[in-house]
């Protein structure tokens, strides 16, 4: 687990988010409110949508597919977003500080995410990535 977690607030600007991710060598991070409560997660994937579709380019086939499924295409909102609140994925999947590594691994797999915010009493205390989970199961690093 990486602790303390590198986080941003909901009003963080796109350029500041990119700079924070790059300077801290992270591919995603929690978005927290003023009290430190988790409100979303922002990842490279969320940010790259803006670069890929932020101009007048339209993903016609994806748009038609989403409309036929009666879904609002998220990429449209994210491509136009300027702040973390617009770009983040809300309702993030989390693990508790005392959860076993196997719980984190299962959540990552079932929810198809690369990292999970680690919370304790509703506050983000860290982030666990897939490589953190693997390190926990490495016989060379755990003495197994």
pLDDT at 138: 73
List, in order, residues 6 or more apart from 134 with CB less than 8 Å away.
none
pLDDT (average), residues 50-71: 62
- C-beta separation of 19 from 25 below 8 A: no
Cα–Cα distances (Å) from 78 to 70, 120, 133, 137, in that order, read 18, 29, 30, 36
More confident residue, 63 or 23: 23
Where do the structural domains in the chain lie, given as residue ranges? Answer: 14-142
User: Please, what CATH class does the domain formed by 14-142 belong to?
Assistant: alpha beta
State the pLDDT at residue 53: 62
Q: Which of the four pLDDT bands, split at 50, 70 and 90, describes residue 49?
A: confident
Task: Give the Å distances, CA to CA, from 16 to 1, 23, 56, 85, 110.
Answer: 24, 10, 24, 13, 31
Residue-averaged pLDDT of the chain: 84
Q: Residues 32-45: what's their mean pLDDT? A: 92
pLDDT score at 18: 94
Residue 69 is predicted with a pLDDT of 72
Contacts with 55 (C-beta within 8 Å, 6 or more apart), sequence order: none
Assess whether pLDDT exceeds 70 at residue 133.
yes
Residue 143 in 3-state DSSP? coil
State residue 70's pLDDT score. 65
Lowest-confidence pick of 54-58, 76-80, 96-100 = 54-58
The string of pLDDT tens digits covering residues 104-113 is: 999 999 999 9
Can you tell me whether residue 96 is helix, strand or coil?
strand
């Amino acid at each position: 687990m990486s602790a303390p977690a590198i986080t941003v607030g909901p009003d963080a600007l796109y350029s500041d988010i990119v700079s924070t991710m790059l300077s801290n060598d992270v591919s995603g991070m929690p978005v927290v409110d003023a009290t430190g409560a988790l409100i979303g997660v922002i990842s490279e994937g969320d940010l790259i949508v803006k670069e890929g579709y932020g101009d007048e380019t339209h993903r016609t086939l994806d748009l038609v597919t989403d409309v036929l499924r009666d879904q609002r295409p998220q990429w449209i909102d994210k491509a136009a977003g300027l702040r973390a609140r617009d770009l983040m994925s809300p309702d993030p999947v989390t693990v508790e500080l005392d959860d076993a590594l196997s719980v984190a691994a299962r959540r990552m797999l079932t929810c198809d995410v690369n990292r999970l915010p680690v919370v304790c009493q509703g506050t983000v205390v860290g982030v666990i990535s897939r490589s953190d989970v693997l390190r926990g199961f490495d016989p060379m690093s755990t003495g197994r």
